[in-house]
Structure 1
Amino acid sequence: MSLLELTARNVKRNFRLYSIYLFSMITGVIIQFTFSSLMYNEDIIDALQNRANFQTGVGIASLVVFLFIIFFILYANSFFMKQRKKEFGMYLLYGLNERQITRMVFYETLIMSAISLFTGILIGGLLSKLFGMLLMNLMHYDQVISLSFPIPSIAATIGVFILLAMIISVQSHIMLNRVQLTELFHAKQKMDKPVRISSVWAMIAVLLLGMAFALISSGKGSVFWQDYATVTMIAVTIGIIGGTFLFFRQFAGWLLQAVSRRRKYYEGNTMLWTSSLRFQIRGNTLNLTFISLFSAAIMLLLSFMTINYKVQFEAVGRNLPNDIAFESLASETNSQIDSLIRSSGHEVRYHLTQEAIMADPVSDMGPAFENPEYYTPYLLLVSEQTYNGLMKERDPKQILDLQGEEAVTLAQGSDFPQSYAANRRPEFTVKTDAETTFRIIEKKDYAYLGWSSDPVRSMVIKPAVLVISDETYRSLREHADKKSFQIYGIANAGRAEELSKQVHAIVTETPGAYYSSFADVYSKQIEGSSLMLFSSGFLALIAIFALASVIYFKQLREATDERLQYTILRKMGVDDRQMKSVIRKQLLFVFLPPLALGILHSWFIIKYYILDSVQDFPGLTAAVWGIMGMYFLVYLLFYVSSTNVYYKIVSETP
């Protein structure tokens, strides 16, 4: 019998095992081809305003996807090879050498790779249309996506899986060479020993996790993060990783031990499911720790990218609140720009000419404007009347009422906006022709003039603006340098890239002239945040599938190893209903703690370091809980599926 014939017989005889491995490979091809094809889809490329950035982003994400696929396929192959160790031992006993077995495995890999490539590319091509439509929907673009099978994507996917087939063959060869013949026959007969449980280490696990959660919940404004950031970060890392490991290594064992000491331990089926778990702690600790931390990372990634995406739509408007704004130039130039805007096809909703006084700060800029390096070194003093005139068009809720030397700093992007009590208002001194000291009544997270922008470089620097009372403005105006600004509100400002380029070219003929346009940033930010959310969602999908595989393969191996024990239980009179109950409770103890810890880890970080920084953006907390709820449902499906598979395996005759 030739090696090819032997390979064919193996596939027929172990179809279920091969089908699991084949499914893993097909999934890898689908993921790789679906994602890479987006980079070459002409419909998507035509709809984008920033094609180079998109292709760079997809290229980087494709590399991450490839690394995930390698990990996933190699893990599946490792499980596949371990399940077949006894089979390989028989081949060695019958006279085949290790080189022949390696060739046989290589043939199997080539056959399954060919099937996977054909099936995966076909399904991936269909899914690429769906995912392309999803990406366009995220970007709010009305673009029809056609079904396509780009040749570069097909070539790249084939190349990836030829390389992967070679890596798998090397992995299989190494695994075969590292074991002795006796090990191959007794590979499934090794039994884990119960871990020695210490109540002290169990308490340390709880203390480490408690320390990590306490430091995280103290907030980034606390003394721990302000003065001892490095030490605190190390402590949190040790607390989360070390605490999670010891939780599964010691606390879980201590909990099982406590259950075993109860008076009712021998009643019902408690003894049946707890005794098995106590022997599995050693082998499951790393897996459960990995699942818990990996789950936290998935939820943290998805939550962060979702928040970033939802915030961007409003954040761009906050950073650049004026559709088009520029420093007033010569009257002829202003008229030329006005004609250009009005003939562009974008309806002009309003046009205001507004004046501001130029001043130099005498006081430190830091308390009034967080991160002063992002602001102009000079100040613009805007009268209450001028400011309110623009707010009537833009946002009436922001209208101010100031008296005397009162002032409001417009520190858009501030993490800690603040209104000051009458007896605690800080003083801020500026200089025009003479020095004037203002009392700041509010540091406002808002912008009057947004970041100066550039169609290529996006945001450059933002003006430092102080809103002062009308009476003070009039007293300073006569002997101060002044600037005026042309501010336009136009319809469909997000699609005014071409208009912005034309206006920018005219304005920048005057060196140093201020220019700001919503369109310069909108498409870049929205396309970028949409791509990041899409990529993170795709990576999360792969990660969840890889995690499901880790759980599934682990349970499949344990169920196969315990089949004899369950056969004995059945002979002792344990019926199917009781066996299902034992399996459900046993697997619940394996599934629930990693999920609970993963949600806790991710929620604490998201709550205190992301959500608290964007409190004025509505609906974000609900979005985070929605993501965690979806993850819980997916995890619940894993649990139900695993219990069913576990029961089917242990019900088979060994």
Structure 2
Amino acid sequence: MNLLELSLKNVRRSFGLYTIYGISMLIGIMIFFSFSSVMYNDDILDALKNIQNFDAGFLIASAVIVSFILLFVLYANSFFIRQRKKELGLYMLYGMNERHLLSMLFYETLAIGAVALVIGGLLGGLLSKVFGALLMNLMKYDQVVSLDFPVRAIIASVIVFVVLHVAVSIQSYLLVTRVQLIDLFRAKEQQEKPIRTSAALAILGFFLLGSALAMIGGGKQSAFWTDYSGVSLIYCAIGIIGGTYLFFRQFAGWLLQVWSRTRGYLSGNTTLWTSAIRFQIRGNTLNLTFISLFSTMLVLLVCFVSINYSVQFEAVGRNLPNDIAYESKSAAVDAEVKQAIQASGHGIEGSYSLKLLRAKAVTDPVVAFENPEYFSPGILLASASDYNAFVQRRGDDQQVRLAGDAAVSLSQGMDVPLPVAGSGTDFAIRTGSSQKVFKLVEKKDYALLGWSSDPVLSMNKKAAVLIISDDAFASLKASGTAMSTFQIYDIADAGDAESLSEQLHGIVTKDPETYYSSFADVYSKQIEGSSLLLFAGAFLALIALFALASVIYFKQLREATEARRQFAILRKLGVGRREMMNVIRKQLLFVFALPLLPGLLSSWLIIKTYILDSVQDFPNLIGMVWGIIALYFLIYAGFYLVSTNLYYRIANRTT
């Protein structure tokens, strides 16, 4: 019998084990091919307006997805080889050398991978139409996506398959050549020993994890982050990773050890399910740590891309509130701009003029404008009545009431808008040779003109606008303060006006210092970018869930197989099936719940403190985050229920 015949016989004899590995490979190929098919679909590429950014994002997302698939398949192959070590030991005992074993494994994985490549490619191609339509819906485009199997996607998937097969072959070589023959026979018989626990290490792990979470929950305005941001970041990383590891390695075992000394420990079936856990803690520490940290990262990923996508539509409008706005320098330019808009097919729905005074800041701009490096040099002064008229025209509830020297700054982009304490803060400006001091009574997160923009570079600088009373504005105007006029247009279908904006930008910015802002310059870039990020994040979450499910599945399959002898003894002692199921449920509940709690708590604190608190103007986001956490909890609960049934069936198998 040659190696090929032996490989085929092995597949027939252990079809279930090969199926597990094959499904793992198939899922990885299917997900990658569906993603690649969407990215290379001609209908989608024709609809995109920023193809260069799309290509760059696609390459990055593809690299991350391939990395996840690689880890996913390598974990499955590790389990596959471990389950066959006794069989491989028999082959070596009968005279086969390592080269023969590796050749046999190479043929087997090559055949399984080839089948997975064909089936996964077909399923991925079918799914790509659904995913493509979803991507177009996220981008708010009406493009119809046809079913397609792009040649570039097929080539990319074949390359990924080759990379996976080479990595699997190298892993198989390392697993087979680094063990002795006796180890191959005893691989499935080696029993874990209960770990020695230390109260000091248990408390240290609890302290590290608790203090890191407390530091995160304290917020970025706390002294730790404002004064020692680098050290705080390192401590939080060490605290979460190291604390989680010690939490499972020492604290869980120590907790069970303390529990075993209580009076009620011997009552019911507590001894049965806790003793199994004590023996498994040593081998499960890395798995439990991985599940906890993985849960944190997965929830953070999904929440971040969902929040980013949700705020983009409104955020672009807040950053660039005017469809077209520019500083008017001559009547000829104004006429040319109007003519270009009328000829473009974008109807003019409204046009306005806004007169603002120009000044220079004497006081440090940081007093009035958060992150002043993002604002253009100089200050633009608007009268309260003109400002209120624009606010009313937009339908926003942002009006002001000012008298005397009171002033309000439009510090667009603040994390939290704040009224100024007391009667106001002095803010001095200079107009010509004179100086004027205003009382800054509020810093408002609002834009009158918004960011200046560029068709290529998108957003450049924000206009620094100070709202002053009508009397103060009239007085400064009468004194000869320099004034600029800004023309503002509302146009139809402003989000699809990239070509028009490029033309207008060329007309207006012949003087490069001229202010120009267009909603279209940012809208398509932001929406396409956030849609691609959400789409790629969804794929990463999908493959991550499969990876998590595989870790849990393989772990329970191995532990249940090793526990069959113990459960056989329990059956002989008269323990019923219902009691065994109860023991399994309690045992797995402890294993499942323990990593979930710190994982979800860490992710919620990070999201709440560093994302939600920065976008307080979007109250619906909190409900969305809780919905994502609840969905993950339900999926995780599903893993638990499936695992209990799987564990019970395997552990109680009599043959």
* Common topology (TM > 0.5): yes
Task: Count how many residue pairs are aligned between Structure 1 and Structure 2.
Answer: 653
The alpha carbon displacement at 1:606 in A equals: 0.7
Q: Secondary structure in 2 aligned to 1:407?
A: strand
* Equivalent-residue separation in structure 1 for 2:352 and 2:100 (angstroms): 83
Structure 1 segment 81-100 matched on structure 2, within 5 A: 81-100=81-100
Alignment of 1:582 onto 2:601: no
Aligned match of 2:230: 230
The alpha carbon displacement at 1:635 in A equals: 0.7
Aligned match of 2:553: 552
Aligned match of 2:425: 426
Structure 1 segment 315-326 matched on structure 2, within 5 A: 315-326=315-326
Q: Is the 8 A contact 1:350 1:393 kept in 2?
A: no
Q: Secondary structure in 1 aligned to 2:349?
A: strand
The alpha carbon displacement at 1:81 in A equals: 0.3
The alpha carbon displacement at 1:70 in A equals: 1.1
Tell me the amino acid that sits aligned with residue 368 of structure 1.
Answer: A
**1:461-516: per-residue Cα shift (whole Å, max 9, x none)?**
11111111111111111311110000112232111112211211111123321110
Q: Secondary structure in 1 aligned to 2:341?
A: helix
Tell me the amino acid that sits aligned with residue 636 of structure 2.
Answer: Y
Flag as ranges the 4+ runs of structure 1 deviating above 4 A.
none
Q: Secondary structure in 2 aligned to 1:552?
A: helix
Structure 1 segment 5-84 matched on structure 2, within 5 A: 5-84=5-84
Q: Is the 8 A contact 2:21 2:77 kept in 1?
A: yes
**1:105-159: per-residue Cα shift (whole Å, max 9, x none)?**
1110111011001100000001111111111111111111111101111111112
* Equivalent-residue separation in structure 2 for 1:61 and 1:577 (angstroms): 47
Q: Secondary structure in 2 aligned to 1:354?
A: strand
Aligned match of 2:494: 493
Q: Secondary structure in 2 aligned to 1:107?
A: helix
Tell me the amino acid that sits aligned with residue 491 of structure 2.
Answer: I
The alpha carbon displacement at 1:169 in A equals: 1.8
**1:616-649: per-residue Cα shift (whole Å, max 9, x none)?**
1121111111111111111111111111111111
Q: Is the 8 A contact 2:367 2:427 kept in 1?
A: no
Tell me the amino acid that sits aligned with residue 516 of structure 2.
Answer: Y
Alignment of 1:289 onto 2:289: yes
Q: Secondary structure in 1 aligned to 2:436?
A: strand
Tell me the amino acid that sits aligned with residue 41 of structure 1.
Answer: N
Q: Is the 8 A contact 1:358 1:379 kept in 2?
A: yes
Q: Is the 8 A contact 2:297 2:603 kept in 1?
A: yes
Tell me the amino acid that sits aligned with residue 554 of structure 2.
Answer: F
Tell me the amino acid that sits aligned with residue 565 of structure 2.
Answer: L
Q: Is the 8 A contact 2:416 2:616 kept in 1?
A: no
Tell me the amino acid that sits aligned with residue 537 of structure 1.
Answer: A
- Structure 2 vs 1, CA of residues 236 and 163 (structure 1 numbering), >3 Å: closer, same or farther? closer
* Equivalent-residue separation in structure 1 for 2:513 and 2:622 (angstroms): 42
* Equivalent-residue separation in structure 2 for 1:559 and 1:608 (angstroms): 41
The alpha carbon displacement at 1:396 in A equals: 4.1
* Equivalent-residue separation in structure 1 for 2:159 and 2:485 (angstroms): 60
- Greater shift, 427-436 or 265-274, is seen at 265-274
Aligned match of 1:606: 607
* Equivalent-residue separation in structure 1 for 2:620 and 2:471 (angstroms): 41
Q: Is the 8 A contact 2:410 2:466 kept in 1?
A: yes
Aligned match of 1:409: 409
Q: Secondary structure in 2 aligned to 1:141?
A: coil
* Equivalent-residue separation in structure 2 for 1:140 and 1:156 (angstroms): 28
Structure 1 segment 200-349 matched on structure 2, within 5 A: 200-349=200-349
Q: Secondary structure in 2 aligned to 1:510?
A: coil
* Equivalent-residue separation in structure 2 for 1:159 and 1:222 (angstroms): 49
Q: Is the 8 A contact 1:352 1:390 kept in 2?
A: no
The alpha carbon displacement at 1:346 in A equals: 2.6
Q: Is the 8 A contact 1:253 1:281 kept in 2?
A: yes
Question: What are the ranges of 5 or more consecutive residues in structure 1 without an aligned counterpart?
Answer: none
Tell me the amino acid that sits aligned with residue 580 of structure 2.
Answer: M
Tell me the amino acid that sits aligned with residue 262 of structure 2.
Answer: R
- Greater shift, 273-282 or 305-314, is seen at 305-314
**1:257-300: per-residue Cα shift (whole Å, max 9, x none)?**
23322323233211111111001111111110111011101111
Aligned match of 1:536: 537
Q: Is the 8 A contact 2:415 2:613 kept in 1?
A: no
The alpha carbon displacement at 1:332 in A equals: 2.5
The alpha carbon displacement at 1:71 in A equals: 0.9
The normalised TM-score by structure 2 is 0.98
Q: Secondary structure in 1 aligned to 2:352?
A: strand
**1:40-70: per-residue Cα shift (whole Å, max 9, x none)?**
1001111111011111101111011111111
* Equivalent-residue separation in structure 1 for 2:374 and 2:61 (angstroms): 30
Aligned match of 1:110: 110
* Equivalent-residue separation in structure 1 for 2:113 and 2:162 (angstroms): 8
* Equivalent-residue separation in structure 1 for 2:560 and 2:150 (angstroms): 43
**1:504-546: per-residue Cα shift (whole Å, max 9, x none)?**
1111123321110111000000110111111111111111111
Q: What percentage of aligned pairs have identical amino acids?
A: 58
Q: Secondary structure in 1 aligned to 2:376?
A: strand
Q: Is the 8 A contact 2:211 2:239 kept in 1?
A: yes
Q: Is the 8 A contact 1:309 1:526 kept in 2?
A: yes
Tell me the amino acid that sits aligned with residue 432 of structure 1.
Answer: T
Aligned match of 2:514: 513
- Structure 2 vs 1, CA of residues 213 and 381 (structure 1 numbering), >3 Å: closer, same or farther? same
Tell me the amino acid that sits aligned with residue 2 of structure 1.
Answer: N
Tell me the amino acid that sits aligned with residue 27 of structure 1.
Answer: I
Aligned match of 1:122: 122
* Equivalent-residue separation in structure 1 for 2:410 and 2:275 (angstroms): 65
Aligned match of 2:640: 639
* Equivalent-residue separation in structure 1 for 2:360 and 2:178 (angstroms): 75
* Equivalent-residue separation in structure 2 for 1:306 and 1:170 (angstroms): 38
- Structure 2 vs 1, CA of residues 615 and 416 (structure 1 numbering), >3 Å: closer, same or farther? closer
The alpha carbon displacement at 1:21 in A equals: 0.4
**1:538-584: per-residue Cα shift (whole Å, max 9, x none)?**
11111111111111111111111111111111111111111111111
Q: Secondary structure in 2 aligned to 1:475?
A: helix
Tell me the amino acid that sits aligned with residue 524 of structure 2.
Answer: S
* Equivalent-residue separation in structure 2 for 1:275 and 1:416 (angstroms): 52
Aligned match of 1:170: 170
Tell me the amino acid that sits aligned with residue 241 of structure 1.
Answer: I
* Equivalent-residue separation in structure 1 for 2:574 and 2:227 (angstroms): 65
Q: Is the 8 A contact 1:500 1:517 kept in 2?
A: yes
Structure 1 segment 377-456 matched on structure 2, within 5 A: 377-421=377-421, 423-433=422-432, 434-456=434-456
Alignment of 1:139 onto 2:162: no
Q: Secondary structure in 2 aligned to 1:397?
A: coil
The alpha carbon displacement at 1:588 in A equals: 0.8
* Equivalent-residue separation in structure 2 for 1:114 and 1:588 (angstroms): 38
Tell me the amino acid that sits aligned with residue 382 of structure 1.
Answer: A
Structure 1 segment 522-533 matched on structure 2, within 5 A: 522-533=523-534
Query: What RMSD in Å do the two structures reach over aligned CA positions?
Result: 1.3
Q: Is the 8 A contact 1:428 1:437 kept in 2?
A: yes
The alpha carbon displacement at 1:87 in A equals: 0.3
* Equivalent-residue separation in structure 2 for 1:146 and 1:432 (angstroms): 61
